[in-house]
Chain A
Amino acid sequence: MQQHREPIESGCPDGFQYMHPIMRKNYGNWAYHEDPRPGVLLHVAHNGDKVWTVRVGTQRILDVFTLRKLCEIGDKYADGYIRFTLRSNLEYMVDDESKVEPLVKAVEDEGFIVGGTKNSVTMISHTQGWLHCDIPGTDASGVVKALMDELIDEFRAWNMPNRVHITTSCCQINCGGQGDIAINVQHTKPPKINHDLVANVCERPSVVARCPVAAIRPALVNGKPSLEVDEKKCICCGACYPPCPPMQINDAEHSKLAIWVGGNHSNARSKPTFQKLVAAGIPNNPPRWPEVASVVKRILKTYKEDANDWERINDWIERIGWPRFFEKVGLPFTKYHIDNWRGARKTLNASAHIRF
């Protein structure tokens, strides 16, 4: 029996030890920033110190070769410091303007993409998908790769009225989070239950408790304790599937993709907003998901042409109104766009405010 080693419960490490010296020195002392070019930031401290940041798009899931390549670039062309943004972009920091251009060139020569700042479409926040998740309806890295191939010019440039955050999620729990545009799996059929396995695999009371619409109840099926779903009530959310894998919710045909817009977590201008459904029933079509790309590109194109400076997608729709949004992007408005979840009355238009 080997001796177990006691863990050192050090928790969250100190970041100062890994921080660029110019940032350590000016911690809490920055005066303003400028955007010299797409993908490059310049921050100026009150004492005149400057730091340039080069933001880099990568494949997010890095093999050690790629990780080392990024470190080599960091050693040779930057100052040996790297940080990552919330959306998994990588950032190199340098304290001298003359280092910026060679760094940008080195990054691009190695096939990475400089951009993702200011009013660009930045990297897509995403989940694990078929690569690692236990309940995914689709892949994540593959969807993102396919979409970023199509949106690369928007990542590299400042074409958009304001910044655009896109997210993807491979089930309805939506780990990818709120986004200006969110692409999420939407199941359309109730779970298929393997009644032979439920009793041995699932803690039935907790599965019953998981259901947001109380559609699951214990039942005896073929003489075995199992669970049954009231399919009229079921909203196909998939919440029962993680604690009870025999209740298979994923379906090659009927697990579709839906697109939501207007999620914005900033407090700038308006209070933070949740994303709203605009399109659904999109086929889950690997390896390139072309139908998804076409809807996303249509929304982006309309937003780019129609929104004013500084309007995020939610600000833009707030101004033009939902009827015009659907008209402009050419998407159908259906009964499914009308919310019927708790508190939904608040989302209905109780006024004479109509645009013509």
Chain B
Amino acid sequence: MSKMHHDTPMLDELENGPWPSFISGFKRLRDKHPDERINGVANDLLGQLEHSYETRKGYWKGGTVSVFGYGSGIIPRFSEVGDAFPKSREFHTLRVQPPPGNYYTTDMLRQLGESWEKWGSGLVTFHGQTGNIMFIGATTENTQHFFDEINGYGFDLGGAGPCVRTGMSCVGAARCEQSCVDEMKVHRSLLNNFTDDVHRPALPYKFKFKVSGCGNDCQNAIERSDFAVIGTWRDDMKVDQEQVKAYVAKKGRQYILDNVVSRCPTNALALKDDDTLDVNNRDCVRCMHCLNVMPKALSPGDDKGVTICVGGKRTLKIGDLMGTVIVPFKKLDTEEDYESLVEMGEEIIDFWAENGLEHERCGEMIERIGLANFLEGIGVDVDPNMVNEPRSSSYVRMDDWDEEAEKWFKRKAEEKQAAAG
């Protein structure tokens, strides 16, 4: 232990215990890395972090750093205690977009690691809460060099600030039997249509796309994204009755009654005397619970598509909001289907860019102007699937009730005609 090192008694404490320690990793960079620059950065970073632990305060400040041609994708950090810890004085993060589903080869991870130790701190996180690879700790100058290098072999920056943000998708069709949609295609169709809006922040606030292949919503899309695409199906779920019987034989009838039948939120399941499962598909809401318990016996149907929810977000400023159903079901089979999905994204972002207040998320705008006005703005017809229940307050003007009712009947007639071919 050289005298040059900052003492870190509190952080040393985090090297104890069985879970892998990030502090040990920092120390490896400080003590074992061949590049002195990295040794110095890691040492001062540890010093500043210890200082935070002692004083229970953070010491990073934001600023303005970007790469040539872009206005976002970097989280600038300048130290407020840079005189004491000069080598980590500039410690910016580059947000880099991963492929949907976060797939890598070891070769690619190594290549990214090599580029990063050439220009950065040698610390990287897979992935941040917005879904980016976070390359943590570059100086202002090296930010550009690192970006140039990885941009040359296929990586691009994600969003930061009031722009379209990096998307997120679940593992999906690549390795999940519940997947009802080509998550990767949805994700890339949407994100790569808005590349300009990712790199050049010009929106009221952030806008996030997230994709989950089924109602389990492993990607947390409904709660955490402005535009959530959730895979679903609208025909009957598939039931392999032999497998159902095998489950019953293995687990017993009581287990299936307690854990499958009675846990159905709409009472759409019944276990018959011959140990087969009866599904009332008209009542089923595709919640995924019974498919989760018996993946071998139950599967999504064949007529697959997506439900789209708009306006989910976290706390700032009016409190947390879930996304609201805007499209109960949409097929995504043809190129035209994907084009219309992207157009819907454009329509929503355009309307919100036009009507949202400064720092107001799309869901907050919907809260402020009302869902009906939002739907009119984006040209989407109302649908009873958008509400948990109709209005309970009688304080509303309904001058043109007859016209609105007529619209509904006309639409229903058209749908009927279209279905009849």
Are A and B subunits of one complex?
A: yes
- Give which listed residue, A63, A68, A242, A252, contacts B123 with CB less than 8 A: A63
A139–B60 Cα distance when bound, in Å, is: 13
Residue B74 is within 8 A (CB to CB) of chain A in the complex: no
User: Smallest Cβ distance from B31 to chain A, in angstroms?
Assistant: 11
Residue B39 is within 8 A (CB to CB) of chain A in the complex: no
Residue B314 is within 8 A (CB to CB) of chain A in the complex: yes
A309–B157 Cα distance when bound, in Å, is: 43
Pair A112/B20 contact, Cβ less than 8 Å: yes
Pair B215/A15 contact, Cβ less than 8 Å: no
Pair B55/A252 contact, Cβ less than 8 Å: yes
Known pairs A68-B113, A172-B315; A250 contacts B57 (CB<8 A):
yes
Binary contact track B105-120/A, C-beta < 8 Å → 1, others 0? 1111110010011000
Binary contact track A48-78/B, C-beta < 8 Å → 1, others 0? 0001010001111111111110110011000
Known pairs A6-B69, A65-B28, A309-B258; A270 contacts B104 (CB<8 A):
no
Known pairs A31-B177, A209-B358; A341 contacts B220 (CB<8 A):
no
Known pairs A133-B60, A269-B265, A342-B318; A18 contacts B110 (CB<8 A):
no
Chain B: CB-nearest residue to A343: B319
Residue A194 is within 8 A (CB to CB) of chain B in the complex: no
Q: B126-184: which residues lie under 8 A (CB-CB) from chain A?
A: 126-129, 136, 147-148, 151-152, 154-157, 166-168, 170-171, 173-177, 179, 182, 184
Residue B288 is within 8 A (CB to CB) of chain A in the complex: yes
Pair A62/B123 contact, Cβ less than 8 Å: yes
Residues of A within 8 A of B29 (CB): 63-65
User: Smallest Cβ distance from B302 to chain A, in angstroms?
Assistant: 12
User: Smallest Cβ distance from A291 to chain B, in angstroms?
Assistant: 14
A266–B147 Cα distance when bound, in Å, is: 36
Residues of A within 8 A of B168 (CB): 86
Chain A: CB-nearest residue to B320: A274
- Give which listed residue, B49, B126, B175, B292, contacts A62 with CB less than 8 A: B126
Residues of B within 8 A of A36 (CB): none
Q: B89-109: which residues lie under 8 A (CB-CB) from chain A?
A: 91, 93, 97-109
Residues of A within 8 A of B126 (CB): 60, 62, 84, 88, 90
Residues of A within 8 A of B125 (CB): 60-62, 88
Residues of B within 8 A of A13 (CB): 97-99, 154-156
Residues of B within 8 A of A64 (CB): 29, 33, 113, 116-117, 122-124
Residue A349 is within 8 A (CB to CB) of chain B in the complex: no
User: Smallest Cβ distance from A75 to chain B, in angstroms?
Assistant: 5
Q: A83-129: which residues lie under 8 A (CB-CB) from chain B?
A: 83-86, 88, 90, 93, 111-113, 125, 127-129
A11–B163 Cα distance when bound, in Å, is: 14
Residue B276 is within 8 A (CB to CB) of chain A in the complex: no
Q: Using a Cβ–Cβ cut-off of 8 Å, how many residues does chain B contribute to the interface with A?
A: 130
A84–B93 Cα distance when bound, in Å, is: 19
Q: How large is the interface on A (under 10, 10 to 19, 20 to 34, 35 or more residues)?
A: 35 or more
Residue A231 is within 8 A (CB to CB) of chain B in the complex: no
Residue B58 is within 8 A (CB to CB) of chain A in the complex: yes
Task: Specify which of A27, A111, A286 lies most central, judged by the most chain B CB atoms within 10 Å of its CB.
Answer: A286
Residue A314 is within 8 A (CB to CB) of chain B in the complex: no
User: Smallest Cβ distance from B132 to chain A, in angstroms?
Assistant: 11
Residue B407 is within 8 A (CB to CB) of chain A in the complex: no
A84–B151 Cα distance when bound, in Å, is: 21
Residues of A within 8 A of B177 (CB): 30-33, 43
Residue B52 is within 8 A (CB to CB) of chain A in the complex: yes
Binary contact track B198-238/A, C-beta < 8 Å → 1, others 0? 11000000000000000111111111100000100000000
Pair B19/A272 contact, Cβ less than 8 Å: no
Pair A10/B61 contact, Cβ less than 8 Å: no
Residue A282 is within 8 A (CB to CB) of chain B in the complex: no
Pair B136/A132 contact, Cβ less than 8 Å: yes
A310–B291 Cα distance when bound, in Å, is: 12
Overall SS of chain A's interface: loop
User: Smallest Cβ distance from B76 to chain A, in angstroms?
Assistant: 9
Residue A268 is within 8 A (CB to CB) of chain B in the complex: yes
Residue A178 is within 8 A (CB to CB) of chain B in the complex: yes
A173–B313 Cα distance when bound, in Å, is: 11
Residue B75 is within 8 A (CB to CB) of chain A in the complex: yes
Binary contact track B16-34/A, C-beta < 8 Å → 1, others 0? 1111111101101100110
Pair B358/A145 contact, Cβ less than 8 Å: no
Q: A241-297: which residues lie under 8 A (CB-CB) from chain B?
A: 242, 245, 250, 252, 255, 263, 265-270, 272, 274, 284, 286-288
- Give which listed residue, B26, B198, B314, contacts A63 with CB less than 8 A: B26
Pair A65/B25 contact, Cβ less than 8 Å: yes
A84–B319 Cα distance when bound, in Å, is: 30
Residues of A within 8 A of B167 (CB): 12
Pair B53/A130 contact, Cβ less than 8 Å: yes
Binary contact track B288-325/A, C-beta < 8 Å → 1, others 0? 11001101100100000000000000111111101000
Binds A, one of B187-195, B340-348, B373-381, B398-406: B187-195
Chain A: CB-nearest residue to B69: A7
Pair A84/B129 contact, Cβ less than 8 Å: no
Residues of B within 8 A of A206 (CB): 358-359
A84–B288 Cα distance when bound, in Å, is: 23
Pair A67/B14 contact, Cβ less than 8 Å: no
Residue A198 is within 8 A (CB to CB) of chain B in the complex: no
Pair A212/B109 contact, Cβ less than 8 Å: no
Known pairs A66-B25, A173-B314, A212-B317; A287 contacts B13 (CB<8 A):
yes
The 3 closest A-B pairs by CB, nearest first: A149-B17, A15-B99, A63-B25
B interface vs A, CB < 8 Å? 10-11, 13-14, 16-23, 25-26, 28-29, 32-33, 45, 49, 52-53, 55-62, 67-70, 75, 77, 91, 93, 97-110, 113, 116-117, 122-129, 136, 147-148, 151-152, 154-157, 166-168, 170-171, 173-177, 179, 182, 184, 187-188, 191-192, 195-196, 198-199, 215-224, 230, 255, 258-259, 263, 265, 285-289, 292-293, 295-296, 299, 314-320, 322, 357-359
Subset of 24 A-B contacts with CB under 8 Å: A4-B69, A7-B67, A7-B157, A12-B166, A12-B188, A13-B156, A18-B108, A57-B20, A58-B20, A64-B123, A65-B29, A68-B110, A88-B127, A132-B60, A132-B77, A142-B11, A145-B14, A146-B17, A149-B16, A210-B359, A267-B230, A267-B288, A272-B322, A341-B319
